[in-house]
Chains A and B, each alone.
Chain A
Amino acid sequence: MNNLTIKNARKLFVDKKISSHDLVKYYLERIDKYDNKLNSYLTVNEKALEKSRNICKPPDKNKPLLGIPIAIKDIFLSKKLRTTAASKLLDDYVPMYSATVVERLENAGAIILGKTNLDAWCHGSSTETSDYGPTLNPWNSRHLSGGSSGGSAAAVSADLCTAAIGTETAGSVRGPAAWCGVVGFKPTYGRVSRYGVIAMGSSLDSPGPITKSVEDASLLLRIIAGKDEYDATTSDISVDNYLNELKKKRKNLRIAFAKNYLLKNMDDRAKKAIIDTTKVFKKIGAEVREIITLDPRYAIGVYTIIQRSEVSSNLSRFDGIRFGKDRNYFGQEAKRRIMLGTFTLSSGYQDKYYKKAQKVRTLFINDFKRIFENFDLIITPTMPGPAPKIGATKNQAMFGEMADILSEAPSIAGLPSISVPCGFVDGLPIGLSIIGPQFSEKVILKAAYLYERFTDWKNFKPNLENL
């Protein structure tokens, strides 16, 4: 049962080697054993075991995830299952409805194993802003798991679930996936419904899978993607069968290597690991050329202003009248973001900040358009380096924005991107980001799949006995 992907678990179910019940029990035991230290789950679903007991069929076409235990970032509402956004303000909040993503997973037969830790309200890139303490990195417990979907990435990495779901505004799926050595996919904005996801940056939020393999990411994405009548920003472009697409032949990829994403202050070993990936792509027949993009550092300001503005608006519903707890329960980071966003939207400052940010956002969109005229994909490092130590965010109000510098530009352009493991620095994993134009999910997944097959990074697993 060790480190099962969805694909392998399905096979074992079909072959009747193990049951869903066995698998759920296995994870619950592991959670019991390791998660006190790791802190990847905020809530374990008490009904998971009972639910798995009632499953007597193997997964099939209609229920491709039947019996598969999945962990969900605690920003997705789950009916009758506590949902906190990692904020004490919602400490005892039990939703009356489920997010579309949760519903789609459950309709596909998945068992929600539990709700995973995150930066409170997704505000951060470390899980250190969680009111329930940070999630540690399974590879080295003195290091961060990343964020905001740190709990999901750590749970997948530590084999405390088969796969997980996270959300990303800029780097929140890919970042922790990179730091925990797993696959993280951030789809095109509007590809996956945001309905029932506690909103952070509404024009950026994108739910996505965090998995042990590109195949699993492809399978999960297909299930959660697509038009949702409850989310007006979802696209009605049809959803591909990404898993089948992986096996299909396609013409050689033209890949742009964004050279200016190798920042000056980046660790040389991390740089080298990324440069090495270009060699892999060349070997598998891709055409790789260096390009210079619009400086990603400009994206920090744009992203910060847009996201903070939206945060200040989105959190105003927690006005102390409902949900049981008042605004004193907002943590420092949430308060800071509300203040900054309120300022950038104030009359007299809107033009200077919010509107200007939207203009620069357009510049980024156009810059990517320009690149994709000649290339299918862009590759960059996911993060500037491996996971920093616990406590790194202390007194660093802009830690997240700096850590996510490489994700912000593609995110504000609404682009899809995957992070796949591409090496280690000091025993900590690092990730490669593959970015494509909007709705190019299948091309990205194909490239990631080819890379993954050609390398053996995914065979490395953390040793939890050393936690």
Chain B
Amino acid sequence: MKVIKKLNPTIGMETHVELRTKSKMFCGCPADHFGKPPNTQTCPVCLGLPGALPVPNKKAVEWTIILGLALNCKINKVSKFDRKHYFYPDLPKGYQISQYDEPLCSEGYLDTKEGRIRITRVHLEEDTGKLQHRKVDGKNVTLIDFNRSGVALVEIVTEPDIKTGTQAKEYTQKLQNIIRYLEISDCDMEKGSMRLEANISWGLDLGYKVEVKNLNSFRFVDKAINYELERQKRLIIKGITPKQETRGWNETENKTYSQRIKEVASDYRYFPEPDIPPMKFSTPYIKSLKSYIPLLPDDYLKIFVNNYKIRKDYAEILSVRKNVAKFSEIIFEKGKKINLSPQLIANYLINQKIIPDEEKISDLLTKISRINNKNTDDINLLNEWADAAINKLPDAVKDYKKGRKNAVFALVGLVMNISKGKANPRKVKEIIEAKIDKV
């Protein structure tokens, strides 16, 4: 019998993101391939024709470095591309140009509510073509569409620091938000421009890991991880080491299923891509790229909570998208000038699901202040305010009880003050009178 040590959920994420550069990674073909007729955006380079050579896309390299900086990575002064060899029909050269031992960025991190997740590396590579399994003239055939072949693809790999499905979900969501803030990819999981894979086990010392692919929503990440941890645990308790394998997620059955058993690690025969000279980056250059990084979701979150005193959950919602966050900050500032509290504005933006539009800011503020100024008939609120006033001005209460009925107006005035003028004075008067009369 195997002695079972303490089991630790050990999860790492691998995320692929297609960059939205105009052209592909190593040629001039358009990178926007989604929904285009097959093989209309190809050239000798991305078709892997004999003699064709890759020329790296400078923008893609810059964007990858910017992403690395946004993820707190070290930017390597020297980096290079490598060839990763494997055979697959959608890979026209028989190797993928990727990065092996000198990625552009390494050793970063991203914080989640459940703790820090270390980022191992951020590297740049090329996407593959796409296989289409079809019937042509009654025969089952596989066709290849090379439109996607050679599109710039960034891979972000974490250390196995993730402990739960929810943490993985938060990590990938945050990653998506950051990338969208940087405007380097649309991160659309349906279109495949963001692809998630989780490596899941109960500890590195157990000598296996299960890779789950095809996770095309954050919800599935959470669910698949929970499912896998349970499945693997049941095996381990029985004394069985789970198989090292690649599994897929079946979203209708809410289960993972085995796709490919990996008994031995594949030998990709990596070696430096001789067609592309090594890249060197100076410190001033890296610094200059830093200046392209806008305020990120976490920065806005802090600003909203600390400077504008927005409730944290509301601040989180408003900082998910850059346009919303920017818009919120502007409208908070303008609101302040007319004595509208940022929280009040935030309530309105979120409850009314306002679409950011700077031209409509003044309209919006007028609307909010009108609602704000409208006397409220909310009985609970009025009671609350009335109680507060009665507690604060006991003398006025005494006077009223002695028969000086006008003393009630001091109390009503105080309520108007507390409610910033929102309370309906007539109602307030009635409530206060009733309250005092009862005592």
Closest CB of chain A to B273's CB: distance in Å? 8
List the one stretch of A22-30, A95-103, A296-304 in contact with chain B: A95-103
Q: For A96, what are the chain B residues with a Cβ–Cβ distance below 8 Å? A: 44, 49
Would B56 and A313 count as touching, CB distance under 8 A? no
The residue of chain B having its C-beta at the shortest distance from the C-beta of A93 within the complex is B50
Within 8 A of B (CB), among A340-364: 342, 345-347, 350, 354
Within 8 A of B (CB), among A76-98: 76-77, 83, 85, 90, 93, 95-97
Task: Tell whether A438 is near chain B: CB-to-CB under 8 Å.
Answer: no
Contact partner of B49 among A97, A202, A203, A347, CB < 8 A?
A: A97
Task: Tell whether A310 is near chain B: CB-to-CB under 8 Å.
Answer: yes
Q: For B213, what are the chain A residues with a Cβ–Cβ distance below 8 Å? A: none
Q: For A255, what are the chain B residues with a Cβ–Cβ distance below 8 Å? A: none
Would A194 and B53 count as touching, CB distance under 8 A? yes
Q: How far is the CA of A96 from the CA of B50 in the complex (A)?
A: 10
Q: For B277, what are the chain A residues with a Cβ–Cβ distance below 8 Å? A: 232-233
Would A313 and B83 count as touching, CB distance under 8 A? yes
Would B275 and A233 count as touching, CB distance under 8 A? yes
Q: For B87, what are the chain A residues with a Cβ–Cβ distance below 8 Å? A: 316, 319
Contact partner of A198 among B50, B270, B276, CB < 8 A?
A: B50
Which of B48, B50, B52, B267: most chain A Cβ within 10 A? B50
Within 8 A of A (CB), among B84-138: 85, 87, 89, 92-95
Would A230 and B267 count as touching, CB distance under 8 A? no
Contact partner of B50 among A85, A345, A346, CB < 8 A?
A: A85
Q: How far is the CA of A215 from the CA of B236 in the complex (A)?
A: 78
Task: Tell whether B192 is near chain A: CB-to-CB under 8 Å.
Answer: no
Closest CB of chain B to A191's CB: distance in Å? 14
Task: Tell whether A13 is near chain B: CB-to-CB under 8 Å.
Answer: no
Q: How far is the CA of A309 from the CA of B270 in the complex (A)?
A: 10
Task: Tell whether A412 is near chain B: CB-to-CB under 8 Å.
Answer: no
Q: How far is the CA of A76 from the CA of B54 in the complex (A)?
A: 17
Q: For B144, what are the chain A residues with a Cβ–Cβ distance below 8 Å? A: 321
Would B49 and A316 count as touching, CB distance under 8 A? no
Would A346 and B93 count as touching, CB distance under 8 A? no
Task: Tell whether B204 is near chain A: CB-to-CB under 8 Å.
Answer: no
Would A317 and B55 count as touching, CB distance under 8 A? no
Would B50 and A313 count as touching, CB distance under 8 A? no
Would A316 and B51 count as touching, CB distance under 8 A? no
Would B44 and A310 count as touching, CB distance under 8 A? no
Q: For B276, what are the chain A residues with a Cβ–Cβ distance below 8 Å? A: 232-233
Given A232-B56, A317-B50, A309 contacting B271 (CB threshold 8 A) = yes
Would B93 and A196 count as touching, CB distance under 8 A? no
Contact partner of B55 among A76, A99, A232, A345, CB < 8 A?
A: A232
Would A345 and B271 count as touching, CB distance under 8 A? yes
Task: Tell whether A322 is near chain B: CB-to-CB under 8 Å.
Answer: yes
Within 8 A of B (CB), among A44-84: 76-77, 83
Q: For A198, what are the chain B residues with a Cβ–Cβ distance below 8 Å? A: 50-51
Q: How far is the CA of A322 from the CA of B47 in the complex (A)?
A: 10
Task: Tell whether A192 is near chain B: CB-to-CB under 8 Å.
Answer: no
**Chain A 331-344 interface mask (CB, 8 Å, partner B; 1/0):** 00000000000100
The residue of chain B having its C-beta at the shortest distance from the C-beta of A121 within the complex is B50
Q: For A345, what are the chain B residues with a Cβ–Cβ distance below 8 Å? A: 85, 269-271
Q: How far is the CA of A232 from the CA of B278 in the complex (A)?
A: 10
Q: For B53, what are the chain A residues with a Cβ–Cβ distance below 8 Å? A: 194-195, 230-233
Task: Tell whether A229 is near chain B: CB-to-CB under 8 Å.
Answer: yes
The residue of chain A having its C-beta at the shortest distance from the C-beta of B88 within the complex is A319
Q: For B56, what are the chain A residues with a Cβ–Cβ distance below 8 Å? A: 232
Which of B44, B49, B144, B270: most chain A Cβ within 10 A? B49
The residue of chain B having its C-beta at the shortest distance from the C-beta of A75 within the complex is B51
Would B52 and A195 count as touching, CB distance under 8 A? yes
**Chain A 217-234 interface mask (CB, 8 Å, partner B; 1/0):** 000000000000111110
The residue of chain A having its C-beta at the shortest distance from the C-beta of B265 within the complex is A347
Closest CB of chain B to A340's CB: distance in Å? 13
Q: How far is the CA of A99 from the CA of B53 in the complex (A)?
A: 11
Closest CB of chain B to A25's CB: distance in Å? 31
Q: For A418, what are the chain B residues with a Cβ–Cβ distance below 8 Å? A: none
The residue of chain B having its C-beta at the shortest distance from the C-beta of A323 within the complex is B50
The residue of chain A having its C-beta at the shortest distance from the C-beta of B94 within the complex is A316
Q: How far is the CA of A93 from the CA of B51 in the complex (A)?
A: 13
Closest CB of chain A to B298's CB: distance in Å? 37
Task: Tell whether A197 is near chain B: CB-to-CB under 8 Å.
Answer: yes
Would A229 and B269 count as touching, CB distance under 8 A? no
Would A95 and B49 count as touching, CB distance under 8 A? yes
Closest CB of chain A to B65's CB: distance in Å? 18
Q: For A97, what are the chain B residues with a Cβ–Cβ distance below 8 Å? A: 44, 49
Q: How far is the CA of A76 from the CA of B52 in the complex (A)?
A: 11
Would A347 and B51 count as touching, CB distance under 8 A? no
Would B274 and A346 count as touching, CB distance under 8 A? no
Q: For B55, what are the chain A residues with a Cβ–Cβ distance below 8 Å? A: 229-232
Would B54 and A232 count as touching, CB distance under 8 A? yes
Task: Tell whether A270 is near chain B: CB-to-CB under 8 Å.
Answer: no
Q: How far is the CA of A315 from the CA of B94 in the complex (A)?
A: 8
Task: Tell whether A118 is near chain B: CB-to-CB under 8 Å.
Answer: no
Would B269 and A346 count as touching, CB distance under 8 A? yes
Q: How far is the CA of A202 from the CA of B53 in the complex (A)?
A: 10
Q: For A154, what are the chain B residues with a Cβ–Cβ distance below 8 Å? A: none
Q: How far is the CA of A317 from the CA of B90 in the complex (A)?
A: 11
Q: How far is the CA of A90 from the CA of B54 in the complex (A)?
A: 22
Would B54 and A99 count as touching, CB distance under 8 A? no
**Chain B 145-181 interface mask (CB, 8 Å, partner A; 1/0):** 0000000000000000000000000000000000000
Task: Tell whether A210 is near chain B: CB-to-CB under 8 Å.
Answer: no
Closest 5 CB pairs of A and B: A316-B94, A203-B274, A202-B274, A345-B269, A196-B51
Q: Known A-B contacts: A196-B52, A232-B56, A345-B270. Give 12 more (CB < 8 A).
A: A77-B50, A195-B51, A199-B50, A202-B275, A230-B55, A312-B269, A313-B85, A313-B271, A316-B95, A317-B93, A346-B267, A354-B271
CB<8 Å pairs between A and B, sample of 28? A76-B51, A77-B49, A83-B50, A85-B50, A95-B49, A95-B50, A95-B51, A96-B44, A97-B44, A97-B49, A199-B50, A203-B274, A229-B55, A232-B54, A232-B275, A232-B276, A313-B83, A313-B95, A315-B94, A316-B87, A316-B94, A316-B95, A317-B92, A317-B93, A319-B87, A319-B89, A345-B269, A350-B269
Chain B residues with a Cβ under 8 A of chain A: 44, 48-56, 83, 85, 87, 89, 92-95, 144, 267, 269-271, 274-277
